[in-house]
Structure 1
Amino acid sequence: MTKVAAEYGVTGTALKKTCDRHKIPTPERGYWAKLQHGKPVRKMPLPRLADTHLSQICILGGVEERLPEEVRQAKARVRHRLEELAASVPNAASAASETHAAEAAVLNATRRAIYKARPDEEGFVAARGRGVVPLKIAPPSIERGLQVLSRFLVLAETQGFRPQVADNGLDLVVDGESVAFGLEERPGKGPHAPTAVELKRRDENHRLGNSSTPWQKHDNAPSGRLAIFIRANSYSGLRRTYSDRKARALEDILPTVLAGFAEHAALIKEQRRADEERERQWREAEARRSRAEAFKAREQQRLAFADAIHEQLAQRAKLTAVLSHLESATGDEARRLGPMLAWVRRRLHQMDALISPLFLDISATFAKIDFEDPPADDEIEGSGGYFSYSPSVELQLWSIDEEKGLATSRTDLQWAVEAGLVPDLKAESADVPGDKQ
């Protein structure tokens, strides 16, 4: 169990609990030792699962195994540099931190704010504000807390990290990333001292036969244990709190704290890079989708234009057959069919103009139908979106002014009149003599 658990980045106990939860039998204690010495062992078969939800097992492993490589390396690099600093100049970091220059320059606002604050019911004072390190601490621990912050910032400067004033605190800029942090005193538990009101309520309860006490047994009280907490990367699994322990003080683990800051800064950078990559992929996918939609719309317009041409060609073939039949008539029959022949010929003449290369090109341009595919970038940038206007796809007759380079659409009647195929109403009106006076 220990060897297999290590492969998944969990403890043997965690793997045993996972197996129990999914009804997977595990070797009993001493199984492998008995097997090694040839003693009989019992091997439990894998039972059938009644609950299908237990058939899939998800083991996440430790946080370190799931972190990007760059994040792990950032933490290791800072640790290595601090170890080299300590080896080259023994006690260099602690000696440098004895100076209070950093406190005078950066922690002045924090000192003023914390000494102006008033203790709350539990005996803590709190300070927040622009350029103020967020603090929650008991008055007796204020000086030690400021010294811890001073030493920490001096140590950070040895690695090129610098404090930066923020609207709601004082951040530490690590490798170009701002990491917010604060310092607080861990609350301890002390016996509750009942107030006069609580004692009176207890006596009333006793008279009513209720022996319970109307107050909690313990109160939160200052413990003297300080902690630096990092206000970044919530729910990431990274360590965010470094506090005093029985075996060592917070001052002794400041290099570890600084390495933790580097780890958080690297994760912030990696998350932003991942967000930018997701944004880039989304933009590319959106560009592909827009291009596909534009291509589909363009193809539909082209097919509609081709259908309009085909319809005219089909009608022309039909009228040509009719014309051939009518032209076969002779004599008196041909004379009676004269107007019909004239109409069919006029109609064919109009169709020939309608599907002529010049008119087709003008009609396609007017309907914004381009049969040449644009470059991909121009196609996306020129897309009008859902509200772009496209004229209807239809073949039209045109009157062309070559001097001005203009083409004006004409109705069937207007074009026929201008082409001299149909008499002009104005000309006919001019031929009619006026009333005599």
Structure 2
Amino acid sequence: METEQLSRQVRRVSRDELFELVWRRPMSRLAEEFGISGNGLAKICDRLRIPYPPRGYWAKKDAGKPVTTRDLPPRPAGVPEWVDIHPTPPMPPAPPPIEFPPEAALAADVAVPETIDNLHPKIAAWLRQHEREQREREQENRRRKHDPWSFAKPLFEDLTPRDLYRFRVTSAICTAVERAGGKVADAPIRGKMVFVVSSHKVACTIVEKMVQQPVRPEGEAPKWSAYPEHHQSGLHSSGYLRVTIDTYLNRRQYQWIETSKVKISDLLGEIVGTIIAAGPILAEEQRRREESARQSREAEARRREAQRLRELDDGRWRQFRARAIDWEERGRLLEFVQELQRVLETEGDAEVGEKLISEWIEWARAKIAALDPLRNGAREFFKSL
């Protein structure tokens, strides 16, 4: 425990000290004490121009074989004498497993339909969309036949078995989510779904898993989808679906991929349970963000208030020192006025400008009195700061 605590502290070591350490015990063990990797320690030694044992040095030494040590060369210009070794931060703990809320059990009896006769309304709309696009393309091409400068566009392909399978799986997921209390907010035919659970949006992608398309000597592979433009060119269907919850939950992205032995129908409960569990998870994450933002605002307010008080205190101290200077100036001026008064008594009064010398002295006394910071007492003095 003590070694672990030491490895979590920043260590400042000198170049000479680090040189002695790397030749005293293996780099991997020393690096562990510093809380860094052996490669990180080697980089520090390289930066400080510190030679360290080569690979196999400690094995030879333990076996009693002769080994060669090196001296620490003089420190080159620009190379620091000290280094602060910061330990690598520990890995964050693994997120806790998701607990499915009781509502998820309401969708336990939902299964992937065998046909497309009774799909979820939003998925059934995909069928109508495809039929409409096919019909509109056919009508457009018929119009283009009468225009010698127009060329017919390719017709929309019929939906393939892979398309229809994805439709059926997506329909089952949508039905199950709604059965468990969620909503289907957006369902584009590309498969980038958006569910709403507990007022929080959960993005989910239900698409074909793509693989690199092998070169076929017999020519181009047959069409596997009526919408090849929805997928990256050069890739081909793997024959399996991939379901991904794109919204991160507990710093993790959840994903399921079919295999030859495990189908989406086998994973439906887990997928829907995770989607439904996303609502409370996102609500808790939002609460934490809002709490963190509140604490940040309060910390910023405290910082601003502390800064205001510091500035106020600095201003008061500047005024205090300025009043002390006025006090010193007042004493010096009073001595000067007293000397003027003595000269006046010796030479006699006379008119200078618009005033007599005695009036000028009274004028100066009034100005000097205004410099007295204590003329109204200590209480008024500190109130004025």
TM-score, length of structure 1 as denominator length: 0.48
Question: Distance between the aligned counterparts of 2:236 and 2:346, measured in 1?
Answer: 125
Deviations 1:188-231 (A, max 9, x none): 6776322689xxxxxxxxxxxxxxxxxxxxx9543432222222
Structure whose residues are more often helix by fraction? 1
Question: Distance between the aligned counterparts of 1:66 and 1:343, measured in 2?
Answer: 87
Q: Secondary structure at 1:306's aligned position in 2?
A: helix
**From 78, 92, 102, the counterpart of 2:109:** 92
Give the direction of change, closer, same or farther, for the CA distance of 1:97–1:336 in structure 2 (3 Å limit). farther
Q: Which AA in structure 1 matches 2:179?
A: T
Q: Which runs of 5+ in 1 are unaligned?
A: 1-46, 119-136, 198-218, 373-437
Question: Distance between the aligned counterparts of 1:285 and 1:237, measured in 2?
Answer: 30
Instruction: Give the greater-gyration-radius structure (CA).
Output: 1
Q: Which residue of 2 aligns with 1:230?
A: 245
Q: Secondary structure at 2:110's aligned position in 1?
A: helix
Q: Which residue of 1 aligns with 2:25?
A: 48
Q: Which residue of 2 aligns with 1:172?
A: 195
1:349 CA displacement? 0.9
Question: Distance between the aligned counterparts of 2:288 and 2:238, measured in 1?
Answer: 42
**From 300, 303, 308, the counterpart of 1:294:** 308
Q: Which runs of 5+ in 2 are unaligned?
A: 1-23, 37-87, 135-157, 221-233
CA contact (8 A) 1:228 1:242 kept: yes
CA contact (8 A) 1:187 1:220 kept: yes
Deviations 1:58-111 (A, max 9, x none): 7978x9x532x6xx5xx3243x4444x48xxxx73349999966622x224433
After TM superposition, list the pairs within 5 Å mapping 1:235-384 onto structure 2: 236-239=251-254, 241-327=255-341, 332-335=346-349, 341-353=358-370
Question: Distance between the aligned counterparts of 2:31 and 2:99, measured in 1?
Answer: 40
Q: Which residue of 2 aligns with 1:66?
A: 94
Question: Distance between the aligned counterparts of 2:326 and 2:170, measured in 1?
Answer: 87
Q: Which residue of 2 aligns with 1:162?
A: 183
Which structure is richer in relative contact order (CA contacts within 8 A, separation 6 or more)?
2
Give the direction of change, closer, same or farther, for the CA distance of 1:112–1:281 in structure 2 (3 Å limit). same
Give the direction of change, closer, same or farther, for the CA distance of 1:238–1:94 in structure 2 (3 Å limit). same
Q: Which residue of 2 aligns with 1:186?
A: 209
Q: Which AA in structure 2 matches 1:151?
A: A
Q: Which residue of 1 aligns with 2:15?
A: none
Q: Which residue of 1 aligns with 2:40?
A: none
Q: Secondary structure at 1:92's aligned position in 2?
A: coil
1:311 CA displacement? 3.0
Q: Which AA in structure 2 matches 1:66?
A: A
Give the direction of change, closer, same or farther, for the CA distance of 1:166–1:278 in structure 2 (3 Å limit). farther
1:148 paired with 2:176, answer no
Q: Secondary structure at 2:25's aligned position in 1?
A: coil
Q: Percent identity?
A: 18
After TM superposition, list the pairs within 5 Å mapping 1:192-207 onto structure 2: 192-194=215-217
Question: Distance between the aligned counterparts of 2:384 and 2:119, measured in 1?
Answer: 71
Q: Which AA in structure 1 matches 2:94?
A: R
Q: Secondary structure at 1:246's aligned position in 2?
A: coil
TM-score, length of structure 2 as denominator length: 0.53
Give the direction of change, closer, same or farther, for the CA distance of 1:307–1:190 in structure 2 (3 Å limit). closer
Question: Distance between the aligned counterparts of 1:184 and 1:148, measured in 2?
Answer: 10
Give the direction of change, closer, same or farther, for the CA distance of 1:151–1:268 in structure 2 (3 Å limit). same
CA contact (8 A) 2:249 2:282 kept: no
CA contact (8 A) 1:180 1:232 kept: yes
